[in-house]
Chains A and B, each alone.
Chain A
Amino acid sequence: MSRKITIDPITRVEGHGKVTIHLNDQGEVQESRFHVVEFRGFEKFIQGRPYWEAPVLVQRLCGICPVSHHLCSAKAIDEIVGVSQSDLTATAVKMRRLMHYGQILQSHALHFFYLASPDLLLGIQSSFDRRNIVGVALDYPDLAKKGILLRKFGQEIIKVTAGKKIHGISAVPGGIHKNLSLSEKNLFYQGGEIPTIHEVMKWAQETLEFYIEYHKKNKSWLEGLALCQSNYLSLVRPDGAMDLYHGVLRAIGPNGERILDDVDYHTYLEHFAEDVKPWSYMKFPFLKKLGIDRGWSRVGPLARINTCDFIPTPLAQAALEYFRCYHGSRICHTTLSYHWARLIELLHAAEVIAQLLDDPDLQQSSLIVTGQRAKTGIGFLEAPRGTLIHHYEVDEKSAITMCNLIVSTTHNNEAMNRAVNAVATQYLKNNQELSEGMLNHIEVAIRAYDPCLSCATHAIGNMPLHVSLFNSQGHLIHERYK
């Protein structure tokens, strides 16, 4: 008899999602779907508000990556006040960059140590009761402590640049509200409550080395789970370097061929469209020239590692070269290599922070510039989870009349659906009994993308996963909640 499986909620992701798996009469996977079932409609909520409120309001989309929304919105609102990125003062740009790389560092540390490491270090089939951060702390206390301190360092960088650790206020139309005082700068060199930048760089390297050794020992399952060939999308610097704050838009195909060849991101509506499915609130963006079926792309750390020509900091560049050499290819399609790529970016973020902290421009006092008012503003940013898009239109009374937000997780929607299907097909055969460990394989594939389902549906919420199993008659025959 055919069956349908439901995993709801999916755990250790930010947001509430569920998975349904339909089995045919032979007990084989017929179709799998990753549903996102939260909805709030933030794009409507923000309409009518004055444009200068946007960088503060949009942070309420998420308690995990508010800095990304704050900065992306600020970049768009700069254009509303007639200020391009090249018009901003050096202090404003560098303060924003410092804030952004602090966010990348803390977010990547949190994901690796807290959300991903329980699967990787304790075993994907280990006891559910133990497979969490407390279990990691029991077996790997030094690693867990480093994770906490890396996250703390990133949070403190955000605090001194954004004014607060969460929902900061410092990026304003045309610039930045504050500079970095020498006493604030010294917090990151003196040690004590906050680790020094030198310690952070050392720990980032050690964590990457730890992961590489782990990967070598577990190569088979890490490279085999949810393998998926895809397009990749990200911003890159005009010279092809990785740049997580600003750049041109590059999309490549599975063999590295250019689909979008470093285009100005203001033209994004010419290149992208979004599909909707009746069973999910999360949309499916795609490149128009390739169509719905072939035009979807992956974004985030693995995508950025694939799209960039090089990383402009020495330690991360060396790590990139080793990564490509190890995989034997310029393009890596291994889904679980998102973790490796994320740790390379964590190291890169630490290096960028070190460079910026040493830059005297951060102590200058020229913070805000003004320009000629415009009606439209578009901002792009590489958020921890991938390419983030904020687009606003305002009327003559300064009220926002249109808001379009395409968040990182949304780009990965099709990839996550395919990952679920690939894992379900691989592991659920012959009507076998479902085990929690088996279902966790599905969650591990989703978790590699570090999805933020709250952002993707612009929802506030509880975030967990629910898997349901349905037979060929559409009857629910098994489900699991975690």
Chain B
Amino acid sequence: MLLKRIAAVDFSVLNPDMIRKMSALEVKSADTYDKDGYPMEAGLMDPHLGVINPGLRCKTCGQKMKTCPGHFGVIELVRPVLHSQFSKKVEELLQATCKECGRVMLPDEKIKELQEHVKKTGADLTKYVISKARAVKKCQHCNAQKLQMLWDSPTNFYYNKLRIYPTQIREWIEKIPEDELALFGYSLERIRPEWFVLTVLPVPPITIRPSITLETGIKSEDDLTHKLVDIIRINQRLKDNIDAGAPQLIIEDLWDLLQYHVTTFFDNNIAQLPPARHRSGRALRTLVQRLKGKRGRFRYNLTGKRVNFAARSIITPDPYISINELGIPESIAEELTVPEFVTKWNIEEIKKLVKETDKAAYLVRPNESRKRITPENRAEVVKEIEQGFRIERQIMDGDIVLFNRQPSLHRLSMLAHKAKIVPYRTFRINPIVCKPYNADFDGDEMNMHVPQTEEGKTEAKQLMYVQNQTISPRYGAPVIILDEDGVSGTFVLTLKSTKFPREEAMRILYDSGIDEIPSPDLGKEYSGKLIFSTLLPKNLNIEFRTKTCKALQATKKCEKCVKDRCEYDSYLKIKNGKLLCGVVDAAALGEGKGKLVDALAREYPSDVIAEFYKKLLRIAVTLITMKGMTVGIDEYETSEATVKVKEDSIKREMEEAEALVEKFRDKTLEHIPGRTLEESFEINMLRLGARTKDAVEKHIMKERIENILSEKPKLNTIVMVVSGARGSATNLTNVSGFWGQANVREGRPRRGFKGRLIALNEKNDVGALAGGFISRNFVEGMDAKQYFYHSMGGRQGEVDTGVSTKVSGYLYRRLANALKDLVVNNDLTVRTANKNIIQYSYGEDGVFPMHTIKGMPISIKRAHELGKKE
């Protein structure tokens, strides 16, 4: 509903007459309370200025504390002072006008011309006028000589090196003709710049500077009140001195002091002035300080919102709860409540809850009167409970709560969980939901919120429940996925070589909550694939090439894919919920590519995937615990064959590098199009390094991968690499091959001494070994030189992560803030909060990525597969 549209907001300056008119009282006394504790008449705490005591009535408007808005008072300043926040504006005027006649120091025609321009365009010509007037020596209107005008920030002005006082400044500004003020951007009807010289000071209502009574009975005044006391006191002294005919010097001193107090009343943090301090030595928090900065009114109170029914704690993992559940510590559950409405269907349950437990905290009657439920009055309360009443009870298992981790960068940073009350003091989440939150357990804290209405609870469950969010709304592929040990474990489980005797099979299945054991498929033994199949829905059909297939391709080249007859067990086929062949790895489970979980999430009700994940993680964890997944130093020892390959490759590299250097020196090196000789040389050196490392990497993988195909595979790093759980071939090469070329800023490290990287090298040696090539690995350890090269690259990595998180974080924030109110409406238009159109059809095609397959509306291939299902 749109009642009124705001067309414009106009900021202006208060007219002194206006200040007098809006004030309820002229404040004359510097005292606040008399010795009996009553406010002084015409003092700073006069009840005409508003009420801060509950029960009392305002002497101006007659309303009570909650309704009286407070009323301004006024201080008549004996001598005018400058408003420090406007002294820049005052300076501009004084620079460009004549002290004698007040006219702008430009020729008449020029003024006319500029006025026309302002009228037409509304431009602010202040800067231009000042720069033109600067060159002028004499006023063109009254012929008076122009003398130097100096501004000593914040409030002192000198003309011809003589101090000019606010009275004089005011007279000067008053002389400036109205139509010439337009050149400085002033709208004549609204602002006269002489108001920048204060003759009268508004006193803010008591309501914005309330005094507080400490437990000891001593009244403590607000900082603003303290400042006003100073102003009034000096004002009074100045008056007395003037009346008594004191010497000019004393009067000027007092005048300056009054100026200081008024200036610090507005802003107590001006560079040139010492801040006014409290008796304790603390700087006073005056008007500007109240508004400015992180803890100021805007960012702290207006933009920063606080909520009730929230909790925050450290998170720890619990693979034994469902992905939908959130373990809530008892101590938190005892503090937070949800309302439960008494109806004829639940009245008995609620009575039981009140009678037998201490979980009910309050009884709320239909007239909103509340009663605390204690062990003593339980019986009484139970008798009172009727339909239409409401109780507020602690959160219990099954309640819907929201869970959030900052930074909330996407929709999935806040999800709805089902509460499960657990002992100890941390929030417990299933490690599978770490991904959307981007959480880990190295001390991360997260926030929980408890929806208080039926609408809230329902909406949260429908829209934000974890199991409904497994597909990313951003790119239409799985985001809630198994990772690390989950993938490794599943991979090991589904290896061809994995089989269990009956006892082990029973233990694994029982651990995952399955209490029926299928009949064995390998004589008396059970294959891992059979156990995995128990988790699948009975009508699931899917087939695809596994991640392992890609890893194997480096070494075993198949002429043509034979699909489900793959001899390396690298083609996955599920028929009627039975895993017939293939290992389950990142291609089935991984983020953005997991074809199996993608199918489960899309083609079945969402509790299927929740169940699947819960059971699979348990099986994977149990299995990996049983079998033990570990590494030893021997795993990383370089085999003789590898050492040979490595040495040969490096030797070849050295020779080739030598040749390149030679060509570079003779300038016979072939240029890469668009590059200089030097650039071409560098690029060639880099490519050479990469090629050498590639060769060794291939060899290492070839050697290690045999482990997986063997009858009794060792569970170590290669399992993680091949299954896509963690790590890469490059990581392995770094450990047991060699590091290769160190990289700084997309090139070989360059900066260091003149003509060389480090003092160990010959000057002007551009060869591989002097340019950051590292021929050794982590197991061998590097020599000092190579270690230093490595550190150069390492340092850059460290700096990059720091800088890029900072920069991209801020960019993202700005984008998110700019777009946060945009909504896709039912007609698919994207509109702002006030219904202005941004797009006529969301994303120009009206497609919601969450309901697509990786951004494509339909996958023809999958549609075919589904067609074959029946």
Mutual binders A and B: no
What is the interface of chain B, defined by CB distance below 8 A to chain A? Answer: none
What is the interface of chain A, defined by CB distance below 8 A to chain B? Answer: none
